[in-house]
Amino acid sequence: MSMEMPKTPMLDQLESGPWPSFVSGLKRLAQSEDKSYAPMMKDLLGQLERSYQTRKGYWKGGTIGVVGYGAGVIPRFSELKDEFPASAEFHTLRIMPPAGMHYTAEILSQLCDIWEKYGSGLIALHGQSGDIMFQGIRSENVQPCFDEMNELGFDLGGAGAGVRTSISCVGAARCEHSCFDEARAMRMLVNAFLDEMHRPSLPYKFKFKVSGCANDCANAIQRSDFAVIGTWRDEIQADQDEIRRIVARRGRKWLIDQVITLCPSHALSLNDDDSLDIANHDCVRCMHCINVLTKALSPGRVRGATVLIGGKRTLKIGDLMGSVVAPFLRLESDEDYEALLDLARRVMDFFIDNALEHERTGEMIERIGLVNFLEGIGLEVDPNMIRHPRTNSYVRTDGWDEEAAKWKARHGAAE
């Protein structure tokens, strides 16, 4: 077993940029000499350096699980186990987070203690599906580690061709833009499809994501098969006195430049008396004006959610944002939430019956046609359904290094 810190000239370069580097984190764990996982992390760094040199990954899969579950542990066996024996097995435990990612410090501390006892100390909060990713554990530790986390109230998340762990934004507990009970919607959907998560049996992955408004903090539109995104049906609530105070403080030009001209549907105008005119029938609920004028504007009173199906970047057929299939669902009463669940069941049944192997919902809809899909799930075509809000979610990254340097200057070199 190698106990020396491996030489990692290529990985070291990744620490030289302005952003925090995962390499520094791995080194910190490897240098924790009093911890049992230090040798594992040293060998992991050694293998990773080799991967950078040869441009080759050395992990292979296998079968690892815990009693009663068919998914949730990602097996990682090293092809370089003779050279790096301490990290020969480096499995990942996917654990479902609480709705809205609300943790107490005590729970986080208990999770860390369990992971230090059995695993590598390396945790990713959170993976793209939403799971807490506990990365790096040997086969014999998987079951006892999961048992202790389960005792704390946590369950394994999804993996493989099944329902994946769901995610919801921070929601009504911390955000005034919330348009429904996000945590309730997420828990309801997860609980209803727990079998498909624990025993993957679908043609391919299926993800639910829940965001309380169109800011979409859960990335639902581009990263989920079934996106529930909050919206409202009536008029934006406006406090005109507050608008006037903002104009008095920041000027008419600021409001026009920062809010009115940036409204994508030109639904805003500033009156002579410094009040804001909102053409609500033109508003596409993008959230921009509400985000900028948080104190003065808020979503309407008739709130609910839009459901979009088939988002994913990147699919074999390219990037897809979800298509709107339910423009507005009121989400207040038990019946309203039951209706959302009923829609989810119909979509899931159709997906199971009609998708090809290794085909996501977006690809299935492209293949069979949106009209056939709507007919299959029993929805009437509605002019408010939107097929392509935008098809490409790529952002240009030119100039990011300069932005990073400015950020560093603002926050001090110590960062």
Q: Report whether 189 contacts 225 (CB < 8 A).
A: no
Q: How far apart are CA 221 and CA 106, in angstroms?
A: 33
Residues forming a β-bridge with 324:
308
| Residue 310 backbone class (left: φ over 0; alpha: ψ -120 to 50; beta: rest) | left
With H, G, I as helix, E, B as strand and everything else as coil, classify residue 158: coil
Q: In this chain, which of 107, 175, 287, 315 binds ligand SF4, going by CB under 6 A?
A: 287
Structure tokens at 221: 């539109």
Q: Does residue 271 bind ligand SF4 (CB under 6 A)?
A: no
Q: In this chain, which of 286, 302, 315, 341 binds ligand SF4, going by CB under 6 A?
A: 286
For the CB of residue 288, give the shortest distance to ligand SF4 in the complex, in Å: 4
Q: Does residue 278 bind ligand SF4 (CB under 6 A)?
A: yes
The CA-CA-CA angle for residues 201, 324, 159, to 5°, reads 25
Q: How many residues belong to the site for ligand SF4 (CB under 6 A)?
A: 14
For the CB of residue 4, give the shortest distance to ligand SF4 in the complex, in Å: 58
Q: Report whether 274 contacts 243 (CB < 8 A).
A: yes
For the CB of residue 305, give the shortest distance to ligand SF4 in the complex, in Å: 16
Q: In this chain, which of 265, 271, 294, 372 binds ligand SF4, going by CB under 6 A?
A: 265
For the CB of residue 268, give the shortest distance to ligand SF4 in the complex, in Å: 5
DSSP letters along 245-302, please? Answer: HHHHHH-HHHHIIIIITT-TT--EEE-TTSPEEE-TTT-----HHHHHTTTTEE--SS
Q: Does residue 284 bind ligand SF4 (CB under 6 A)?
A: yes
User: Tokens 């002579």 belong to which residue?
Assistant: 272
For the CB of residue 238, give the shortest distance to ligand SF4 in the complex, in Å: 10
Q: Does residue 76 bind ligand SF4 (CB under 6 A)?
A: no
Structure tokens at 106: 């005590």
List the one residue out of 279, 274, 278, 277 whose CA is nearest residue 250: 274
List the one residue out of 110, 130, 347, 326 whose CA is nearest residue 220: 130
**Which range of residues in 24-32, 218-226, 285-293, 333-341 is near ligand SF4 by CB under 6 A?**
285-293
For the CB of residue 323, give the shortest distance to ligand SF4 in the complex, in Å: 20
For the CB of residue 231, give the shortest distance to ligand SF4 in the complex, in Å: 10
Q: Does residue 268 bind ligand SF4 (CB under 6 A)?
A: yes
User: Tokens 């934006």 belong to which residue?
Assistant: 236
**Which range of residues in 173-181, 217-225, 287-295, 335-343 is near ligand SF4 by CB under 6 A?**
287-295
Q: Does residue 341 bind ligand SF4 (CB under 6 A)?
A: no
User: Tokens 């480096």 belong to which residue?
Assistant: 90
Structure tokens at 293: 């004028």
Q: In this chain, which of 17, 62, 144, 264 binds ligand SF4, going by CB under 6 A?
A: 264
Q: Does residue 270 bind ligand SF4 (CB under 6 A)?
A: no
**Which range of residues in 22-30, 188-196, 278-286, 315-323 is near ligand SF4 by CB under 6 A?**
278-286
Site track for ligand SF4 across 19-58, x = CB under 6 A:
----------------------------------------
Q: What is the DSSP letter of 131?
A: -
Q: How far apart are CA 137 and CA 45, in angstroms?
A: 15
Q: Report whether 190 contacts 231 (CB < 8 A).
A: no
Q: In this chain, which of 11, 283, 325, 326 binds ligand SF4, going by CB under 6 A?
A: 283
| Alpha-carbon distances of 153 from 116, 156, 223, 336, 369, rounded to whole Å | 18, 10, 27, 28, 42
Q: Does residue 263 bind ligand SF4 (CB under 6 A)?
A: yes
Site track for ligand SF4 across 220-259, x = CB under 6 A:
----------------------------------------
Q: Report whether 15 contacts 24 (CB < 8 A).
A: yes
Q: How far apart are CA 334 and CA 241, in angstroms?
A: 37
**Which range of residues in 27-35, 76-84, 182-190, 277-285 is near ligand SF4 by CB under 6 A?**
277-285
Measured from the CB atom, the residue of 384 and 397 that comes closer to ligand SF4 is 384
**Which range of residues in 10-18, 98-106, 188-196, 282-290 is near ligand SF4 by CB under 6 A?**
282-290
Question: Binding residues for ligand SF4, per CB under 6 A?
Answer: 263-265, 267-268, 278, 283-290
